[in-house]
Structures are given as structure tokens and as C-alpha cells.
Amino acid sequence: MTDLDGHTYVDFVGEFSAGLYGHSDPVIRQAIIDALDGGTVLAGPNQYEARFAQALKLRFPSMELLRFCNSGTEANIFALLTAQYVTKRRKIMVFEGAYHGGTMVFPAGGNPLNLPFDFILATYNDCDESTRLIRENQTDLAAVIVEPILGAAGNLPGRDEFFATLRRETQSAGSLLIFDEVKTSRCGASGMQGRFGITPDMTTLGKYLGGGLPGGAFGGRADIMEHYNPYKPGSLRHAGTFNNNVCTMAAGLAGLTNVFTPQRADAFHDESEKLRLELQALTDARSVPLSFEGLGSLFTLHLGGTPLLHAADVTPLSRQVGLLFHMHGLLNGIAIAGRGDFYQSLPMTQAHRDKAKAVFASFVSEYGDMISRLAEQNSTTRRTMAI
Ligand SMILES: Cc1ncc(COP(=O)(O)O)c(C=O)c1O
């Protein structure tokens, strides 16, 4: 990536994960050109969407039937409304620090622009609290929606037992479990649901889904999604002018089937996770208290020294360290997000990753002592907050 002043960077912002395919993948580029040659805005189903849906269904078996929309936000809105419709219940359980779209954000202190769903706020990774809240609300709980990695809060990974608890408790409460895999579906061939071996009732996708063009999808168990079958009397409507737009369908299909194949997805995840572990090893070897939270191609730099399980564990000071590395990176030829997030992309080579390691090593040399002092201050702040 080269800026207007001629500085060149390795792009670890990766459009916050939507840039999985990089800036100009030749296969996707060609697919878009071919699609343009065939004509756009033609109305009605097009030749790409059923094949794309079929390919997604093979990758994410929880999506027995699925529908396309224009964004991750829209996918989540439809998943939640669908859950309310099929369960005939109102409440939606979400987790503090979650981000399910521009109108469903759950930072500490809330978001005045959230949609007026009847949300119940729970603590990420807290099995006991989640169990209690699901049981207490079970007569009116339509769904629990959860990100397998809590992205906006700093890519905090969900624990296996947390998801096993959510699966068991929603099942017995008759509520739907919705996995928001808008970001995490890139974590291997079948996303995080494949890694956990858990089948949610519904799944939502977005970000890289459209090969770099706007797009989203929601789907799930056939008996749930059958309500959208237009041949059935009284079926649900899901209209949207550009839901199946030719360019997104063509680019997404080409990407999923010819670029981000299951083999490539698994290999990419492993290569990316290797970088995360190497960066962690580098900081551990120098006893600098930093941690790289996340998994594979999605991770965030935090102040270390204390476990980070849920959003409240991430202090503002920890976020400042991410910002500091963002600045240091820009001065040294790598771009990460201002909040300390790293997103890797398919075109990355070992040389790009080596560059990240070298820049991080120089960061640790320059700021290691200061970071140790900040970590001490951070744990004092956390102890005070806990008291
Ligand atoms: C986990 C998650 N869900 C949903 C969304 C919303 O997707 P979109 O920006 O396409 O509306 C995002 C976007 O960052 C996200 O990270």
C-alpha cells in the first residue's frame, strides 16, 4: 500500500478483515469483469447466486438454507427478526463489548443508536452467568447472538466451554443460538463453528464474503429458513434491491471456490497463527508484558500480564499500547489498525510477515521499559477497579 506522499506499507489493517483477498486478486478481478460483460441490474435470480449458496452450504453445514443481503449488519438484523418470529419470543441475549453492526454495538456505557431490540447484556466467556440468564429468561428468550471471537473488544477468543454452555442451554431453553461469523468465518475452512465442532441454529456472514464488494448472508436450520420459502402460503418476505447483485455474487463465488478454497483456508489460518505465536514468543523472550489476543489471521496487541477474558478486562491503557504500535508501524512501513488490530490477507508472503516481526522487535527494544511500567500501572488500575 503506498500513500500519497510515497510511503509504502504492508497492509495489516486488511479493511478490518474484509480485505481477505487483498487489494486486487486477479481471479476476483476477472470474475467481476466477466460479470460486467454479462450485464448487471437485470432483476430476478442470476446465474451465480445458487452456486454461491451451494458452495457456502458445503463450507458451513449449519447453513442448510441461506439468503444473501448487503452487509453483516443486515444479516444480523434478519437473523434476530427470524429468531423472534419462529420462537414467538422477544428477548435477545448479547455480550458486553460485542459488535453486530452499526446499529448493534455493545460498548461499556451503551450505544444510543442501537436498534430497539429487547437486549439482555451478558459477560463474554462467563459460563455461569450465561447459564443463569438463559434459564431466568427462557420463556421469552428468542436468541443468543455471539461472536466466536469478540472482535471490536480486541479479538478476545471465546473459550470452548463457553460455546458448549451456550449450545446446551439455548437448546434446553428453546432459544436459537446465532453465530455471528461475519469476521471469524475466515478462521479455517468452516470458520470457528468448524473448530469448535458446534452447530449453531443460525449463522451470519459478511466482510470478505463478497470478494471485497458489499455483501452479507444469513442462514441456518432448514426448518427455520423454510419460513422464507416463497412458494409457501404466508411465507416471510426478505426483499432487497441489491441482495443478489451480480458483481458481489460473481466475486464471492469465485473467491470462495477458486481462491479461498478449504485447503487454502486451513493453510492460511495456520500461517497466520504462526505469525501470532512468533510475535508472542518475541515479546515473551524479552519479558515485555504484551499479549497478542485472537486467533489466526485476526488478532490484537494488548498490554499483557493479566488474563483477558471479557470486554471489561481490556483497559483504555491497553488500547493505548495498540495505538502506540500503530504509530510505530506507520513510521516503519507496516500499517495496523489504530486500536491495535492485525488482519492478515491471502496475498501475504513470509517476507511481509518477517517485516512485521522486525518492526515489532524494534518496537519492543524502543518501548519495552515503558511498556513494563504501563503494565504495572495497568494492573494497579485493574485492582482498584475490582475493589
Ligand atoms: C462481528 C461483526 N458482525 C457484524 C458486522 C457488521 O458488518 P457490516 O459492516 O458489513 O454491516 C461487523 C462489522 O465489523 C462485525 O465485525
The domain that holds 310 is classified in CATH as 3.90.1150.10
| Cβ of residue 100 lying under 6 Å from some atom of ligand 1 | yes
| Cβ of residue 206 lying under 6 Å from some atom of ligand 1 | yes
Q: Return d(Cα 92, Cα 297) in angstroms, integer.
A: 29
In sequence order, the 6+-apart residues with CB closer than 8 A to the CB of 3 are: 9
> Looking at residue 113, what is its pLDDT?
97
| Cβ of residue 182 lying under 6 Å from some atom of ligand 1 | yes
Atom of ligand 1 nearest to the CA of 72: 7
Q: What's the one-letter identity of residue 293? A: E
Which class for 222: exposed (0-12), middle (13-18), buried (19 or more C-beta within 10 A)?
exposed
| CATH number, domain with residue 152 | 3.40.640.10
> Looking at residue 95, what is its pLDDT?
98
> Looking at residue 384, what is its pLDDT?
61
The answer to whether position 82 is within a domain reads: yes
Q: Which residues pair with 205 in a beta bridge?
A: 217
Q: Within this chain, do residues 229 and 251 fall inside the same structural domain, yes or no?
A: yes
Q: Return d(Cα 233, Cα 254) in angstroms, integer.
A: 35
Beta-strand relationship, 149-150 and 156-157: antiparallel
Q: Within this chain, do residues 266 and 255 fall inside the same structural domain, yes or no?
A: no
CB neighbours of residue 144 within 10 Å? 29
Please tell me the number of Cα atoms within 13 Å of 79 on its side-chain side.
Answer: 40
Provide the number of structural domains found in the chain.
Answer: 2
Long-range residue pairs from 160-169, CB within 8 A, at least 24 positions apart, any chain: 160/196, 161/127, 162/124, 162/125, 162/126, 162/127, 162/130, 163/196, 163/198, 164/196, 164/198, 165/127, 165/130, 165/131, 166/130, 166/134, 167/198, 167/199, 167/200, 169/130, 169/131, 169/134, 169/135
Q: What's the one-letter identity of residue 227? A: H
Q: Within this chain, do residues 99 and 241 fall inside the same structural domain, yes or no?
A: yes
Contact 225, 191 (CB under 8 A): no
Supply the angle between the helices 49-59 and 246-254 in degrees, to the nearest 10. Answer: 40
pLDDT tens string, the chain, 387 residues long: the values are: 999 999 999 999 999 999 999 999 999 999 999 999 999 998 889 999 999 999 999 999 999 999 999 999 999 999 999 999 999 999 999 999 999 999 999 999 999 999 999 999 999 999 999 999 999 999 999 999 999 999 999 999 999 999 999 999 999 999 999 999 999 999 999 999 999 999 999 999 999 999 999 999 999 999 999 999 999 999 999 999 999 999 999 999 999 999 999 999 999 999 999 999 999 999 999 999 999 999 999 999 999 988 899 999 999 998 999 999 999 999 999 999 999 999 999 999 999 999 999 999 999 999 999 999 999 888 776 666 554
Q: Within this chain, do residues 84 and 221 fall inside the same structural domain, yes or no?
A: yes
Q: What is the pLDDT of residues 260-312, one digit of tens each?
A: 999 999 999 999 999 999 999 999 999 999 999 999 999 999 999 888 999 99
CA of residue 302 to ligand 1 center, whole Å: 22
Does the pTM surpass 0.95? The reply is yes
User: How many residues are there in the chain?
Assistant: 387
The answer to whether position 77 is within a domain reads: yes
Q: What is the pLDDT of residues 20-45, one digit of tens each?
A: 999 999 999 999 999 999 999 988 89
* Last residue in a domain, options 259, 292, 308: 259
Q: Within this chain, do residues 295 and 379 fall inside the same structural domain, yes or no?
A: yes
The answer to whether position 207 is within a domain reads: yes
CA of residue 30 to ligand 1 center, whole Å: 27
